Amino acid sequence: VRNQLTDAFGPVPETARYYKSKGVRWVAIGDENYGEGSSREHAALEPRHLGGRAIITKSFARIHETNLKKQGMLPLTFADPADYDKIDPADKVSIVGLKEFAPGKQLKAVIKKPDGSKVEILLNHTFNEQQIEWFKAGSALNRMKQVFASK
């Protein structure tokens, strides 16, 4: 993966640790059935721990998608799977529409190219109201803490 800050290519965990040390939030782009065969909760906890905020893919392994939600991550899929090919290693990705985040409502990724041009891509999600509360709280555990603290 290309490190946006150093232009060096390296393993995802190494790049993510570097971003975390610099306070940079990041988004990962994946292909089909992302998270298949993963070690369950840890595979979702690690991206969050390293400062990841969203994973955008063509599709997710079902259980992994739920685990990402529990960790406060945004598992998103391309509304048009062909949009996967519109993102390059040097691009910067922003997710917009989170203030209006609601079940069934698409989000948008704005892809900023190195030449300054922008591409907008629609993204789908499978969040329900409760899962959106998890996301807004930072994780399912954080949401539970909020609920119990208010009683």
For 92-137, the pLDDT digits (tens) are 999 999 999 999 999 999 999 999 999 999 999 999 999 999 999 9
How far, in Å, CA of 125 to CA of 79, rounded? Answer: 9
Tokens at residue 77, please?
């899929």
Residue 39 pLDDT: 64
CATH number assigned to the domain with residue range 12-149, chosen from the 4 options 3.90.1150.10, 3.40.1380.20, 3.20.19.10, 1.10.645.10? 3.20.19.10
CB 47 within 8 A of CB 27: no
Least confident of 41-45, 67-71, 143-147: 41-45
pLDDT category of residue 44 using cuts at 50, 70 and 90: confident
Tokens at residue 6, please?
């150093």
Question: What are the residue ranges spanned by the domains of the chain?
Answer: 12-149
